[in-house]
Structure 1
Amino acid sequence: MNSLNSSVSEIELPQIHDPRGDLTFVEGGNHVPFSIARVYYLYNVPVDAERGGHAHRELEQVVFALSGSFRMKVDDGFSKTEYWLRDPRRGLHIKNMIWREMDSFSQGAVCMVLASHPYDESDYYRDYGEFQQALRAGS
């Protein structure tokens, strides 16, 4: 079992300041600890909506708030913590077998996710009880 501290960590991306506006970039295998296989983003999320509510068997992610803010709640089956994402240079790296939930989206929030694998429904645990059972079984 991985501890939550070793399975969830904050990542800060480089920032290039310019009078015309700041620029931040990300390179898979350099700024994030995996090759990026998929990028997706959430937007037009109602402020009272909840997203996530799952864990992944293999997939790792880095989650960013490109605009606005939201709360990311993470849980390794033994301990829970939360992070507020609001700085587009700071992402949250979430390894596999971590339950994640997102809520408290600000008006106009945009969430971008960098993923280590293409979409695969069989990689998801969508039931918390199943997730806990898999942890106990050592999956």
Structure 2
Amino acid sequence: MQKPHLIEFPKLGASDIGYISVGEANGLIPFTVERTFWTYFTPESIVRGRHAHHATEQVLIAVAGRIIVTTEMPDGEISTFVLESPHVGVYVPPNAWHTMQYSHTAVQLVFASTRYNEQDYIRQYENFRQVWGHK
């Protein structure tokens, strides 16, 4: 079972001309991307996410601002990732409960392994604990 972990994408360029980072199929993203979405203008007081997935894998990137991502694995292991650079993302496996809290200026880019399917979501924490074998 894969665990959440940081992925550092190439940072090509220089401060005087700017930078580009690239994620390619069969590269640093450990799955084929089926869906891409982004979130923005999220108030700092809001915690988003609060769910897990049965099948979907994701890579989350703060292309602007700061995002604090907290994950919990089925064995109870909790990890916190602070995303503040547009060339660093966090891999979130399908069985990880996760939350995100944003700075006001944060823009989050997400690459997902599946198209949207409501049945793939576990939205109640108690259900997450039951699905993954904890009481």
Class of the TM-score when normalised by the shorter of the 2 chains = over 0.9
Q: Offset at 1:121? A: 0.4
Runs of 4+ in 1 over 3 A off after TM superposition: none
For 1:1-139, list aligned pairs within 5 A: 2=1, 6-18=2-14, 19-77=16-74, 78-103=76-101, 105-136=102-133
Q: Which amino acid aligns with 2:89?
A: G
What is the distance in 2 between the residues matched to 1:133 and 1:36? 29
Q: Return the offset for 1:46.
A: 0.6
Q: How many residues align?
A: 132
> Which runs of 5 or more residues in structure 2 are unaligned?
none
Supply the distance in 2 between the matched residues of 1:29 and 1:63 (Cα, whole angstroms).
17
Q: Is there any run of 5+ residues in structure 1 with no aligned partner, and where?
A: none
Letter of the 1:122 partner, please give it: Q
Q: Following the alignment from structure 1 to structure 2, what is the Cα–Cα distance between the partners of residues 123 and 110?
A: 24
CA distance in 2, matches of 1:109, 1:28: 26
Task: Please state how far the C-alpha of 1:107 moved relative to its aligned partner.
Answer: 2.1
Structure with the larger strand share: 2
1:113 Cα deviation from its structure 2 partner: 0.5
The whole-number CA distance in structure 1 between the counterparts of 2:92 and 2:69 is 10
Deviation at 1:16, TM superposition (A): 1.1
Please give the TM-score of this superposition, normalised by the length of structure 2. Answer: 0.93
Give CA-to-partner distance per residue, 1:58-86, whole Å, 9 cap, x none: 00000000000021010013121211111
* Structure holding more helix per residue: 1
- Equivalent pairs: percent with the same residue? 30
